[in-house]
Amino acid sequence: MNSRFKMFGLIALLGFVAGVIAQLTATYVIPWMIIVLPSLASLTSFMVAGFAGAILTVAIVGAWAYMTGKKEPY
């Protein structure tokens, strides 16, 4: 039961970090990309949000798979 609480705590921590990254992206990266790439201004926020979501999902699933994988002795 103790390992389950650790896993929930780790997932909560990863979710917190993902939220911070999303907020920083929305505050700084998207406005910068709109200035730098004016021709893509209408699509920039969707592209950045999709890219950030993909990266965060892969990171969270990768961390989960690494932590819950079987440990086989060599």
Averaged pLDDT for residues 42-69: 79
Extract the tokens encoding 19. Answer: 């939220």
pLDDT at 11: 80
Let me know: does 36 contact 17? Beta carbons within 8 Å: no
Count other C-beta atoms under 10 Å from residue 19's C-beta: 11
**Cα–Cα distance between 28 and 37 in angstroms, integer?**
14
Residue 1: pLDDT band by 50, 70, 90 thresholds? low
- First and final C-alpha spacing in the chain: 28
52-69: burial string, b at 16+ Cβ within 10 Å, e else: beeebeeebeeeeeeeee
Its pTM stands at 0.48
Per-domain residue ranges for the chain?
23-65
With a cut of 70, say whether residue 8 has pLDDT above it: yes
Per-residue pLDDT reduced to its tens digit, 11-52: 888 888 888 888 887 788 778 877 877 766 666 677 777 887
Q: Give the pLDDT band of residue 53 (cuts 50, 70, 90).
A: confident
